[in-house]
């Protein structure tokens, strides 16, 4: 199902598809919040900008986020101080605080109607055992000359043991904001093209050539703002990021709601915020996160959220449910800057974890400053060509083990599923003449067969029974049951088998 945000803005997407070669200052690949924010700032500075979007505007992460604008990213600052020092942690915090202000300034200046409202943001626990971690985080944040509060009461409809609270954070409708920025970009005379898939970028002297179907966009600078960077070499981003899927439901609680934004920090994760829709005050509950490609059943995903909703709002109506994928770097810090040292005028912003509303603004400001040859005091925090040792080594091991399994072990392991074991409206992998075949049977038993090998780097795909897609456990590419590519880093479709011949 489409998200609340997509449902409230769906009819606004009427952009053209690229149908000619172009020459421009800056080519931006991807029309999510990061790409569009870069395009907005650069358009206002008078640059010629072309935006290329594979799908429709904001249909991926931006249109499916919870839309929280905050510098409180879970319990993060104690980790940052102990891993990278106080100055680093403080700059990360103040970069995000500036982003909140930047977003509000744009909304005011451009008069964008996007339901922006200031809210307190809380990270809470209901376990007495976890109070110590919250208090440690409060102490860490206060040591950065930033005022946060430790509280034991908040607006949630259940008791908490403790929470850290950041005031003057915010929430909005991310797609209304995005479309507001798009209007500003077009008003500056720049163009956004949708359904225009960039599949390669090559260096040509002082210029870059971006290839889109039969057309080429020539530019001095490129900003890779796709959902996941799809150029493997150089950059090697696929070795240092993974994707995480999370789920959201929007309910009409049928009774009055609290204010504030909330998230806890140990599994099962639940995130809450309110949102306005057609005169109603809805509650969004998000969570049930898992690594993309480790597919769960309905009860492990939306089911968890529905159960939670009905504990406190037994008569609620579930109006919307959706899911999203976020790119997460192994050291939990986004990559912002040059794509690689050998491509200095091609830029990237990625790995925003689940906090892309603020981090995309931070990233856009860093990239715009680079293009304008201006210093940016925060760029070292997010330096994209860093070679620091990974601090959370367990995460690194998990990713390595899973990639090895999908790339090598599971591909040669025999599967015991038979064709008849696969029920209608479900899928799975079988073997035919020693070859693995991905099968999906629709409601009427019609069969769709694909080669279940990811077109990115060849990992064995997993069947996702919630979305009826083939998902890659290695770097998170996704394909529909017909084999059509939906999510990068892969951009080619799967091979399709005709089982009747
Ligand atoms: Fe990299 Fe599938 S996404 S191998």
pLDDT tens figures, 112-125: 999 999 999 999 99
443 in the same domain as 340? no
Query: Are 356 and 235 part of one and the same domain?
Result: yes
Residue 117 in tokens:
């409202």
Of 22, 72, 73, 69, nearest in space to 50 by CA: 22
Q: Ligand 1 centroid vs 74 CA: distance in angstroms?
A: 28
In a domain, 93, yes or no: no
Residues 312, 345 within the same domain: no
Task: Give yes or no for residue 228 CB within 6 A of ligand 1.
Answer: no
Q: How confident is the model at residue 278 (pLDDT cuts 50, 70, 90)?
A: very high
pLDDT confidence tier of residue 99, bands split at 50, 70 and 90: very high
Beta-sheet pairing, 207-212 with 215-224? antiparallel
Same domain (yes/no): 265, 341: no
What is the residue range of 431's domain?
399-497
Instruction: State which ligand 1 atom lies nearest to the alpha carbon of 490.
Output: 3
Claim to verify: residue 155 and residue 249 sit in the same structural domain = yes
Q: Give the model's confidence band at 224: pLDDT under 50 very low, under 70 low, under 90 confident, else very high.
A: very high
pLDDT surpasses 80 at 296: no
Q: Angle formed by the axes of helices 356-371 and 33-44, to 10°?
A: 40
Higher per-residue confidence, 9 vs 126 = 126
Which CATH number does the domain housing residue 308 bear? 3.30.9.10
Last residue of one domain, picked from the residues 281, 302, 329: 329
| Residue 477 in contact with ligand 1 by CB distance below 6 A | yes
Average pLDDT over residues 237-265: 94
pLDDT at 397: 64
Residue 70 half-sphere exposure toward CB, CA atoms < 13 A? 30
Structurally, the chain folds into a number of domains equal to 3
Residue 349 in contact with ligand 1 by CB distance below 6 A: no
User: Residue 26: which pLDDT band, with cuts at 50, 70 and 90?
Assistant: very high
Q: DSSP string spanning 98-115?
A: HHHHHHHHHHHHHT--S-
Residues 426 and 461 in one domain: yes
In whole angstroms, give the CA distance from residue 245 to residue 483.
20
Q: How far is CA 72 from the centre of its chain?
A: 17
Q: Tell me: do 190 and 316 sit in the same domain.
A: no
410 and 299 belong to one structural domain:
no
Nearest Cα to Cα of residue 245 among 263, 258, 227, 218: 227
Claim to verify: residue 316 and residue 453 sit in the same structural domain? no
- Does the beta carbon of 461 lie inside 6 Å of ligand 1? no
Q: What is the pLDDT of residue 273?
A: 98
Residue 389: pLDDT over 60:
no
Distance 474 CA to ligand 1 centre (A): 5
| CA 349 – CA 338 distance, rounded (Å) | 9
For ligand 1, is residue 156 a contact (CB within 6 Å)?
no
Residue 293 lies in a domain: yes
User: Which of 329, 352, 369 lies at the terminal end of a domain, its last residue?
Assistant: 329
Task: Please state, for a pLDDT cut of 90, what percent of the chain lies above it.
Answer: 81
Please check whether residue 184 lies inside any domain of the structure.
yes
Tell me the CATH number at 231. 3.50.50.60
Q: How far apart are the first and last CA of the chain?
A: 35
Mean pLDDT of the chain: 93
- With a cut of 90, say whether residue 13 has pLDDT above it: no
Give kind and range of the element (H or E) at residue 185.
helix 174-187
User: What distance in angstroms lies between residue 490's CA and the mean position of ligand 1's atoms?
Assistant: 6
| Residue 261 confidence (pLDDT) above 60 | yes
Q: How far is the CA of 230 from the centre of ligand 1 (A)?
A: 10
Q: What is the pLDDT of residues 153-180, one digit of tens each?
A: 999 999 999 999 999 999 999 999 999 9
Q: Which of 431, 432, 430 is nearest to 440 (CA)?
A: 430
The average pLDDT across 135-157 equals 97
Pocket probe for ligand 1: among 462, 473, 477, the residue whose CB has the most ligand atoms within 8 Å is: 477
Place of tokens 């200031």: 118
Could you report the per-residue pLDDT of 297-333, keeping only the tens digit for each?
777 899 999 999 999 999 999 999 999 999 999 899 9
In a domain, 100, yes or no: no
Q: Are residues 158 and 253 in the same domain?
A: yes
Looking at the CA of residue 489, tell me the nearest atom of ligand 1.
3
Q: What is the pLDDT of residue 407?
A: 62
- Is 457 inside a domain boundary? yes
Q: Judge whether 188 lies within some domain.
A: yes
- Tens of pLDDT, residue by residue over 422-460, are 999 999 999 998 899 999 999 999 999 999 999 999 999
**Together in a domain, 423 and 441:** yes
Among 398, 378, 379, 402, which residue's Cα sits nearest to residue 390? Answer: 398
Which residue's alpha carbon is nearest to atom 3 within ligand 1? 475
- The CA distance from 220 to 209, in Å, is 9
Q: Which helix (H) or strand (E) holds 469?
A: strand 469-471
Residue 479 Cβ < 6 Å to ligand 1: no
In a domain, 122, yes or no: yes
Q: So what's the pLDDT on residue 324?
A: 93
Report the CATH number at residue 434.
2.102.10.10
Per-residue pLDDT, 400 = 64
Task: Give the burial string for 249-281 (b: 16+ CB within 10 Å, else e).
Answer: bbbbbeeebeebbbbbbeeebbbbbbbebeeee
Per-residue pLDDT reduced to its tens digit, 56-89? 998 889 999 999 999 999 999 999 999 999 999 9
Q: Are residues 150 and 209 in the same domain?
A: no
* Residue 107 belongs to some domain of the structure: no
């Amino acid at each position: 199902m489409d998200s609340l945000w997509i449902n409230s803005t769906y009819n606004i997407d009427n952009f053209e598809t690229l149908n000619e070669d172009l020459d421009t200052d800056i080519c931006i690949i991807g029309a999510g919040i990061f790409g569009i924010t870069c395009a907005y700032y650069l358009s206002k500075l008078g640059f010629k900008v072309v935006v290329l979007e594979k799908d429709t505007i904001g249909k991926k992460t931006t249109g499916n986020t919870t839309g929280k604008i905050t510098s409180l990213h879970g319990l993060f600052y104690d980790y940052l101080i102990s891993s990278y020092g106080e100055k680093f942690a403080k700059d990360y915090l103040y970069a995000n605080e500036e982003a909140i202000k930047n977003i509000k300034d744009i909304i005011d200046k451009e008069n964008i109607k996007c339901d922006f409202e200031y809210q307190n943001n809380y990270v809470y626990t209901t376990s007495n055992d976890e109070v110590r971690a919250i208090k440690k985080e409060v102490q860490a944040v206060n040591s950065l000359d930033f005022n946060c509060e430790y509280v034991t009461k908040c607006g949630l409809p259940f008791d908490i043991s403790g929470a850290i609270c950041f005031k003057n954070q915010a929430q909005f409708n991310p797609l209304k904001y995005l479309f507001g920025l798009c209007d500003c970009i077009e008003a500056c005379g720049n163009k956004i093209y949708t359904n225009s898939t960039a599949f390669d970028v090559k260096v040509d002297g002082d210029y870059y050539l971006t290839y889109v179907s039969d057309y080429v966009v020539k530019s001095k600078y490129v900003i890779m703002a796709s959902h996941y960077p799809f150029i493997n070499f150089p950059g090697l981003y696929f070795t240092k990021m993974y994707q995480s899927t999370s789920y959201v439901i929007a309910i009409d609680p049928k009774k009055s709601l609290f204010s504030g934004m909330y998230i806890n920090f140990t599994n099962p994760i639940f995130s809450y915020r309110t949102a306005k829709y057609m005169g109603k005050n809805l509650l969004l509950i998000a969570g049930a996160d898992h690594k993309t490609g480790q597919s769960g059943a309905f009860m492990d995903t939306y089911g968890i959220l529905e159960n939670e909703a009905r504990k406190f709002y037994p008569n609620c109506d579930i109006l919307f449910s959706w899911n999203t994928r976020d790119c997460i770097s192994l050291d939990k810090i986004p990559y912002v800057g040059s794509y690689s040292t050998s491509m200095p005028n091609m830029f990237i912003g990625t790995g925003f974890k689940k906090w892309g509303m603020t981090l995309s603004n931070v990233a856009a400001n860093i990239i715009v400053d680079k293009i304008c040859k201006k210093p940016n005091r925060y760029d070292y925090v997010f330096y994209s060509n860093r070679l620091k040792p990974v601090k959370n080594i367990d995460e690194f091991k998990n990713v390595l083990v899973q990639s090895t399994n999908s790339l090598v072990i599971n591909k040669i392991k025999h599967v015991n599923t038979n064709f008849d074991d696969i029920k209608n409206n479900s899928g799975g992998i079988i073997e035919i003449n020693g070859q693995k075949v991905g099968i999906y049977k629709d409601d009427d038993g019609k069969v769709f067969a694909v080669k279940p090998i990811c077109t990115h780097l060849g990992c064995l795909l997993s069947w996702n029974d919630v979305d009826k897609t083939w998902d890659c456990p290695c770097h998170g590419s996704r394909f529909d049951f017909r084999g059509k590519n939906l999510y990068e880093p892969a951009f080619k479709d799967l091979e399709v088998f005709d089982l009747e011949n």
